[in-house]
Amino acid sequence: MPTTTPGGILETARTWLAQDPDGETRGELRALIEAAESGDETASAELDDRFATRLAFGTAGLRGELGAGSNRMNRVLVAQAAAGLAAYVRGRAGLSAPVTTPTDAAAAAEETATPAILDDAPIVVIGYDGRRNSDVFARDSAEIFAGAGLRAILLPHLLPTPVLAFAVRRLGAAAGVMVTASHNPPNDNGYKVYLGGPDDGSQIVSPADAEIAAQIQRVADAADISTLPRSLAYEVAPETVVDEYVAATVAVAPAPPGAEGLRWVYSAMHGVGWETFARIVEAAGYPSPIPVTPQLDPDPAFPTVAFPNPEEPGAMDLSFAAAREAEADLVIANDPDADRLAVAIPDESADGGWRRLSGNEIGLLLGWRAAERAAADGAAEGASLACSLVSSPGLQTVAEHYGLDFHATLTGFKWISRAPGMVFGFEEALGYLVNPETVRDKDGISAAVAILGMVSEARGRGATLADLLREFDETFGSFASDQISVRVDDVSQIARIMQALRARHPESLGDVAVERVDDLLAGVDDFPPGDVLRLWLTDGSRVIVRPSGTEPKLKLYLDVRGESREDAAQRIEALAESARSLLAEYGG
């Protein structure tokens, strides 16, 4: 592992430089090394940040800022990750470990020229989006998988993450890799891993993440990626794989008669969703949307948004402007890799006349749709709805109403996708799974088609999406949610707050007593242990406290149920005020 002593960091950086195949990151690193050698303290600190640790491989795979160093996303780190994943896949298939450290360049060339890829070799499929270096990282991975004797299949061009998740199952792959950082800042990229076989195309979970990480570390300890066997004998998937995803997604909700005349706005948020989604919209029979043209095509600079996430303030301003001009019925937006969905509706009370629905509102509507259809088809027995434990408890009410099972899981679709009998799953962070027989991950494109179907059916009887929200409240009750995020400069502050809450449970929030506290570290129900506290209040409200898995934030998720939408809004406002006071008391 890298050392934090100045001399050690410099030596580690020089070793890294010698194996880096990327001219841009080599130049960047060489300049830092030369500056540090001349006594530049800023350069030395920068090298320490880049090499004192490694970008962690976990249940989200890899994700981080582009740049040279073990704590950045780059071709060296990706090569190590690909070789480590290849060793894991081979081991899982009962094959011997691949040769990953030829003794010299001649051996490496021989290994590359004659890859031992058998007809029945495990398949690894690789996809990539439009971010900087996504295509480069994908091709590097394909070459290394092929060099390890695996059957590597590269998707034919940049595509949404759900297409990769679909391809893992469709091609019977042992594993899949999607090169994307989803809705992270422009200078980030990532490496998301899926597993086939018994995992059925879901994202990795423990213990696979730790086992893959150990293989990656073994490759990294061998130091020089230039000796890794590579091969150009990888395949490029036929376009028919995309065609089949399109056909399966069209089947989610072919346009009903009410779709005629629908006026809707669409934004791809500078990502890769539009080309695939456009084909589906046309084939399903929906009217073409009014496009947010500046955001329609892939652009890794994301020039019109400060942060390419539909949840962020300002990200949908161009969509709202287009919707106002067109007097549209609704707005639909995907995030850059199209695995998330945002929906907005006209609302006179909102600033600018448009309101983005919360992830919980969309999730409850889609859950209602799925449960109603399962019951109508006589398929309720054994079927279930699932959501993350921080998502609205209203989904359980929907499931019980229709006689379906319900499962709450840890956050992330790696857990939601594994819920038994699931016909629909969601998480409040704009993630929805409406077609689990096709994709075992959140899919913003198929969810968009389902929303278009719901809106069109409502239009057919003279109703709107806002009317559907009111009908939901009348049927199941009024649920309201809120979230409080506290960003910190010192990550240890989050641990101190969690420790303080565990040492002394709060007795009340405002005037409402805390009935019980569930500590998931101690094991609760069927949840795997996790750094999560769940507070239940005597009035039925709920507060969940957890550190963010991707950012230096402490997050509080608040949920209430009211007698009406107005009552629920008042109660959630009061609970939010009490939760902020709680944070202040415990060091937030």
Distances (CA, A) of 327 to 267, 286, 410, 455: 16, 18, 40, 16
Torsion of CA 579, 584, 585, 587, to 10 degrees: 120
Torsion of CA 49, 57, 313, 340, to 10 degrees: 160
392 is catalytic: no
Q: Tell me which amino acid residue 461 is.
A: R
- Structure letter (DSSP) for residue 552: S
- Structure letter (DSSP) for residue 58: B
Nearest CA to 557 out of 566, 546, 565 is that of 546
Q: Tell me which amino acid residue 55 is.
A: L
Question: HEC states along 394-408?
Answer: HHHHHHHHHCCEEEE
**Bridge partners, residue 484, by sequence:** 556
> How many angstroms from the chain centroid is the CA of residue 537?
31
Residue 220: partners with Cβ closer than 8 Å, 6 or more residues away: 54, 70, 80
Q: Tell me which amino acid residue 484 is.
A: I
Q: What 3-state class would DSSP assign to 385?
A: strand
| Catalytic residue of the set 44, 182, 417, 578 | 182
- State how far the Cα of 346 lies from the Cα of 327, in Å rounded to an integer: 9
- Strand ranges inside 105-200, DSSP E: 123-128, 151-154, 175-179, 188-195
- State how far the Cα of 64 lies from the Cα of 62, in Å rounded to an integer: 7
Query: Domains in the chain and their CATH numbers?
Result: 1-53 (no CATH), 59-238 (3.40.120.10), 239-461 (3.40.120.10), 478-585 (3.30.310.50)
Distances (CA, A) of 158 to 154, 195, 342, 447: 10, 21, 22, 20
pLDDT in tens, the chain (588 residues): 444 445 689 999 999 999 999 999 999 999 999 999 999 999 999 999 999 999 998 877 999 999 999 999 999 999 999 999 999 999 999 997 665 444 444 444 444 443 566 678 999 999 999 999 999 999 999 999 999 999 999 999 999 999 999 999 999 999 999 999 999 999 999 999 999 999 999 999 989 999 999 999 999 998 799 999 999 999 999 999 999 999 999 999 999 999 999 999 999 999 999 999 999 999 999 999 999 999 999 999 999 999 999 999 999 999 999 999 999 999 999 999 999 999 999 999 998 999 999 999 999 999 999 999 999 999 999 999 999 999 999 999 999 999 999 999 988 999 999 999 999 999 999 999 999 999 999 999 999 999 999 999 999 999 999 999 999 999 999 999 999 998 888 889 999 999 999 999 999 999 999 999 999 998 787 788 889 999 999 999 999 999 987 678 899 999 999 999 999 999 999 999 999 999 999 886
pTM, 2 dp: 0.93
